[in-house]
Amino acid sequence: MQRMEATRAAGEAMLEAFVPRMGRRYASGRNYDRGPGRHTAVSTLSPYLRRRLVLEQDVVAAAVGEHGVEGAEKFIQEVLWRGYFKGWLERRPGVWGSYLEGLAQDFARVDADRRLRRLASAAEAGETGLECFDAWSHELVETGYLHNHARMWFASIWIFTLKLPWRLGADFFYRHLLDGDPASNTLSWRWVAGLHTRGKTYQAQAWNITKFTQQRFTPRDSELARDAEALAAEEPAGLPAVGPLREPVAPDPAVPTLLLITEEDCRVEDFDLAGLDVRAAVTLAASHLRSSLSVAEGVVAFEEAALADAAARSGVEATPMRAAAADGLVAMAVRAGARQIVTPYVPEGPLRDWLRAAAPTLAKEGIGLCEWRRDWDAAVWPHATAGFFKVKQRIPEILHAAGLA
Per-residue pLDDT at 342: 98
SS (H, E, C) the chain: CCCCCCCHHHHHHHHHHHHHHCCHHHHHHCCCCCCCCCCCCCCCCHHHHHHCCCCHHHHHHHHHHHHHHHHCHHHHHHHHHHHHHHHHHHHCCHHHHHHHHHHHHHHHHHHHCHHHHHHHHHHHHCCCCCHHHHHHHHHHHHHCCCCHHHHHHHHHHHHHHCCCCHHHHHHHHHHHCCCCCHHHHHHHHHHHHCCCCCCCCCCCCHHHHHHHCCCCCCCCHHHCCCCCCCCHHHCCCCCCCCCCCCCCCCCCCCCEEEEEECCCCCCHHHCCCCCCEEEEEEEEECHHHHCCCCCCHHHHHHHHHHHHHHHHHHCCCEEEEECCCCHHHHHHHHHHCCCEEEEECCCCCHHHHHHHHHHHHHHHCCCEEEEECCHHHHHHHHHCCCCHHHHHHCHHHHHHHCCCC
Per-residue pLDDT at 1: 47
**Could you tell me the domains of the chain?**
8-91+379-401 (1.25.40), 96-234 (1.10.579.10), 256-372 (3.40.50.620)
Per-residue pLDDT at 2: 56
Alpha-carbon span 306 to 265, nearest angstrom: 10
Residue 16: name the closest of 32, 143, 48, 404 by CA.
Answer: 48
Identify any residues that bridge with 368 across adjacent strands, giving them in sequence order. 340
Contact assessment for residue 317 and residue 61, using Cβ atoms and an 8 Å cutoff: no
The residues of the chain scoring below 70 in pLDDT are 1-2
- pTM of the model as a whole: 0.97
Residue 145: name the closest of 47, 29, 292 by CA.
Answer: 47
